[in-house]
Amino acid sequence: MNTPAAQTAHACSRCAHWADDRALLETRIPGLASFGSAYGATLGASRLCLRHDRLVMPGDRCAGFEARDAAQAGAASNA
């Protein structure tokens, strides 16, 4: 059975490849500042996937999911 908890367990926001650093976005995406800022509404909840080098939403998923360790997960939630 595919419960809501099971659906979010492998979500991008819980992946080791999820780059939850908005400053990194501004350095990795040339011209982003012309649309506003990585800190504004331009990107919303999307972040950079370091594995696929593209913007993804927190609930997105892929076969390349790798769970973050507890230290990474705690640091991301404090950011």
| Residue 41 confidence (pLDDT) above 90 | no
Model pLDDT, residue 71: 45
> How far is the C-alpha of 66 from the C-alpha of 75, rounded, in Å?
17
Mean pLDDT within 65-79: 65
> How far is the C-alpha of 43 from the C-alpha of 1, rounded, in Å?
33
Rounded alpha-carbon distances, angstroms, from residue 28 to 37, 46, 50, 74:
13, 14, 10, 24
**H-type alpha helices, the chain:** 4-9, 22-28, 70-78
In the chain, % of residues over pLDDT 70: 68
Enumerate the domain spans of the chain.
4-78
59 DSSP assignment: T
